[in-house]
Amino acid sequence: MSIRTFCLRDYEEVVELWKRVGLILRPGDDIEGIKLKLERDPDLFLVSEDANHEIIGVVMGAWDGRRGWINHLAVRPDHRREGVGKALTDELERRLLRKGAAKVNAQIYEWNKNSLDFFKSRGYEVHSELVMIGKMLRKE
């Protein structure tokens, strides 16, 4: 397994992986949204490949100048429990630390028990008093 920075040519394969694992894709996950993400902090969008150069994992990190964020972590089902998710988050955390992040957050749906369990096992804490809110600025 190897980890590298996402390239735009990976887009279709990554989207298929996200869909395969049940991630809910939003308008910002379209090709134009990803291009904008790559203008800001491309070094935080990582893919993991197997020996055949097939993408087996992906994580999209972000840095807002204060905190780091983990978005869209996904591992191909046939490669789960092999350390792919751990390796991706470890590398993302290292890169965020180099940027100056003292904290990293992830937003996870309550129904996604596997993801919650994974992050808890990595030392992340659930902040049950927080409520995520959002507003669409672009109507597509």
* pLDDT value for 136: 76
Find out whether 55 and 47 touch, Cβ atoms under 8 Å: yes
How much of the chain is helix, strand and coil, in % rounded to 5? 40, 20, 40
* pLDDT value for 140: 61
Q: What is the CA radius of gyration of the chain?
A: 15
Q: Which two tokens stand for residue 1?
A: 């397994």
Chain Cα centroid distance, residue 37: 12
Q: Which long-range contacts (CB under 8 A, 24 or more apart) does 95-99 make?
A: 95/43, 95/44, 95/61, 96/44, 96/61, 96/63, 96/68, 99/41, 99/63, 99/68
3-class SS at 135?
coil
Give the list of residues 6+ apart from residue 89 with CB closer than 8 angstroms, or none.
59, 70, 73, 122
In this structure, which amino acid lies at residue 9? Answer: R
* pLDDT value for 67: 93
Q: Where are the domains positioned within the chain?
A: 2-121
The pTM of the full predicted model, rounded to 2 decimals, is: 0.91
Name residues of the chain where pLDDT drops below 70: 140
What CATH class is the domain 2-121?
A: alpha beta
Q: Which two tokens stand for residue 99?
A: 């940027």
* pLDDT value for 138: 73
For 94-121, how does the pLDDT look when each residue is reduced to its tens digit (9 = 90+)? 999 999 999 999 988 888 899 999 999 9
